[in-house]
Structure 1
Amino acid sequence: MTALPLVPATADLTIHRLSARPVLVPLALPLVTAGGAVDKAPLVLVDLETEEGVTGCAYLFTYTPRALAATVRQVEELTPLIAGQRVAPLALSERLAAAFRLLGRPGLVGMALAGLDMAAWDALAKAQGLPLYRLLGAEARRLPAYNSKGLGMIGAQMAAEEARSLLAEGFNAVKLRLGYPTRAQDLEVAEAVRTAIGPKPRLFVDFNQTLTLAEAKHRVPPLEAFDLEWVEEPLPWDDYRGHGALAAETSLPIQLGENCWGAGDFAKAFDAGLDAVFMPDAMKIGGVTAWLQTAGLAAAYGVQLSSHLYPEISSHLLAATPTAHWLEYVDWAAPILAEPFSVTDGLAGPSEAPGSGIAWDEAAAKRFAADI
């Protein structure tokens, strides 16, 4: 691991600049969903450089390589707004929210602001010589993790084989993507996977926003036979009313949150009747600062909070979440990290390294650099 600069624990950090670089990382296990196929992870590596020599790190997942160039530019264009300011994430969040109020935060602006926020918290923790969860006042927790890097729409036989393989990597839970052309196909695949893994491992289902409300009411209740942990985003993510109506039709928890922008969207979901589970995405929710706001609301309402992607920083955030539930595991950033995230016996905890545990394997970052 790269040695950190020796900085007094009480030192203030001053922002020098925010830099970004695109990488395109091949997936060891390509993922096919009803919304499209993913065989490479388009990531933007964010570095918050300080005058004191401490660099905070974070990465952003842009979903499509077409968004890499725009995301890099949006991140780097934040530098004139923050250069010379203290690394104070709460204050930075307030000032930048005001700067972008008329434009609005969802989209590339929100992604860039989240990258800055995560990198700022990482820098602060590194300067203090603390893992992020300790800077947040939490204790380390080993939480149950589910393997989400595969089980795309590959048919019943292949899904059954892949489910067994994913559990063999040290997990007790896996996520299955559904949304086949017919309900019969969905049920066939779900039955094949449940039969292959047996009754004990937990099984999650994700429809990736592909159904109408009428179709969801037709397809979801029969899935109760397979003892699912939850059904994720059967409808477009912001159809809170529809998800609430569906939740009233089934005993299965209806999960959403990965596409929600900020704590306000959590409140909308709760008000619509989705009062059991919620899964923020560390980037879209707004980084560490907005995650903590969302976690406070979830604790007040008694809603269980799980993570979406970003297992490295999410493990720290879940440690500071009173109603922490599940950690989603993918290995998409592992090839460009100096110390990839790991899961043992189905459980995962935060890194004990200073910061969020994110440091670049520079040779790999150069090898996977994207041409934009």
Structure 2
Amino acid sequence: MNAHPPLTIRDLRVRAAHVPLRIPLQTSSGTIHIAPLALIDLLTDEGVTGSTYLFCYTPLVLKPVVQLLNELLPVVKGDAVAPLELDRKLRARFRLLGVKGVVGMALAGIDMAAWDALSKAQGLPLARALGGELRRIPAYNSCGLGMIGAERAAAEAQQLAAPGFPAIKVRLGYADPATDLAVVRAVRRAIGDGVHLMSDYNQALSVADASARIQALDGEGLYWVEEPTSADDHAGHAQIRSRTRSRIQMGENWWGPHEMAVCVAAGASDFGMPDAMKIGGVTGWLRAAAIGETAGLPLSSHLFPEISSHLLAVTPTAHWLEYVDWADPVLQEPLRVEAGHVTPPDVPGSGIRWNEDGIKRCLVP
């Protein structure tokens, strides 16, 4: 007898929220003051609800994502909560248009909510529903350290490392390359040698400029240099790798496992960093994890720490969890960090439960 009867999709409830960032993040492409989140609830006939959120980067994209999710309800209503089949069906529906951008975001939202509902119905944390265990994952603090200059960056770095994080990340790409070096050195002096320092250029540089700047930083002990040039320039990243000693990190802009496979084949990166949304939700992540294992590529997460803690727990080459607290104001129980590590919560699903009072303060009409 089946102890867990199939779930059937009854409704999608999607809400838009502008969640203020505790520490605004200034990058080479602009300053982020709020997290534009699409809050998704997948309701079933059986009374189980799967929940997740999407980070939409800019308020300009939040409304279209919410609208598309609402338009997709008639497409999935009455379907079984079977994530692999939902993924197949929805990707087939958008085959001619493609599944990047807003479409990819919406499909990933449905996938993550479906997996949350499925694991809740089994009474298992998502990691266990996927066949894994609740493993401790090292986390690095990515909540700040934007492009704020050497003096402010040094003070903020101490603040980010203070709770016991074994690593933090600094954003680079100043107009003057000497400032990149000055910031890295100021941060290193502030945190000491016992904390790893990652860096991120947010795709700001040309291949030639990136090669020169990273060569100047090669002796500074950076753990990795993230996306120094355009994320889709795999050949360019491979050139940068060949010209510098620092390790290159890519992956947050892989729109699905196929793009990851192309990047890996090009030898573009020393590490991988899938984004739970862009890679295709839980289903896409599992496929990406298989590629990472085959290639021997250490995989870290990008944003979405709540669900990423579960996904890294079932990733053979799990590396680092990127910790941000951007969704905390709308969550009942934000993800806990203990001694610089996270462990997926031992509750059914991904652990995402809404703080309705917090949501009320952030809702977009």
TM-score by length of 1: 0.96
Q: Which residue of 2 is the match for residue 5 of structure 1?
A: none
- CA–CA distance in 2 between the matches of 1:326 and 1:364? 29
Q: Which residue of 1 is the match for residue 248 of structure 2?
A: 254
Q: Which residue of 1 is the match for residue 177 of structure 2?
A: 183
Q: Is 1:225 the counterpart of 2:225 in the alignment? A: no
- CA–CA distance in 2 between the matches of 1:172 and 1:54? 38
SS in 1 for 2:182: helix
- CA–CA distance in 2 between the matches of 1:240 and 1:18? 37
Q: Retained in 1: the 8 A contact 2:197–2:222?
A: yes
1:283 partner letter: M
Q: Which residue of 2 is the match for residue 61 of structure 1?
A: 55
- CA–CA distance in 2 between the matches of 1:370 and 1:220? 41
Q: Which residue of 2 is the match for residue 99 of structure 1?
A: 93
- CA–CA distance in 1 between the matches of 2:186 and 2:248? 22
- CA–CA distance in 1 between the matches of 2:220 and 2:320? 19
Q: Retained in 2: the 8 A contact 1:163–1:193?
A: yes
Q: Is 1:344 the counterpart of 2:338 in the alignment? A: yes
SS in 1 for 2:337: coil
RMSD: 0.9
Q: Which residue of 1 is the match for residue 5 of structure 2?
A: 11
Q: Retained in 2: the 8 A contact 1:170–1:343?
A: no
Cα shift readout 1:286-312 (whole Å, capped 9, x = no counterpart): 000000000001001100000000000
Q: Retained in 2: the 8 A contact 1:60–1:115?
A: yes
1:115 partner letter: G
- CA–CA distance in 1 between the matches of 2:67 and 2:287? 28
| Structure 2, unpaired ranges of 5+ | none
- CA–CA distance in 2 between the matches of 1:352 and 1:265? 33
* Residue identity (%): 55
Deviates more, 1:166-175 or 1:270-279: 270-279
Q: Which residue of 1 is the match for residue 195 of structure 2?
A: 201
- 1:1-372 counterparts in 2 under 5 A? 9-274=3-268, 276-371=270-365
TM-score by length of 2: 0.98
1:44 partner letter: A
Q: Retained in 2: the 8 A contact 1:31–1:152?
A: yes
Q: Retained in 1: the 8 A contact 2:235–2:268?
A: no
Q: CA 1:367–1:9 in structure 2 vs 1: closer, same or farther (change >3 Å)?
A: farther
Q: Retained in 1: the 8 A contact 2:53–2:109?
A: yes
Q: Retained in 1: the 8 A contact 2:28–2:174?
A: yes
2:264 partner letter: F
- CA–CA distance in 2 between the matches of 1:275 and 1:331? 27
- CA–CA distance in 2 between the matches of 1:298 and 1:250? 23
Q: How many residues align?
A: 364
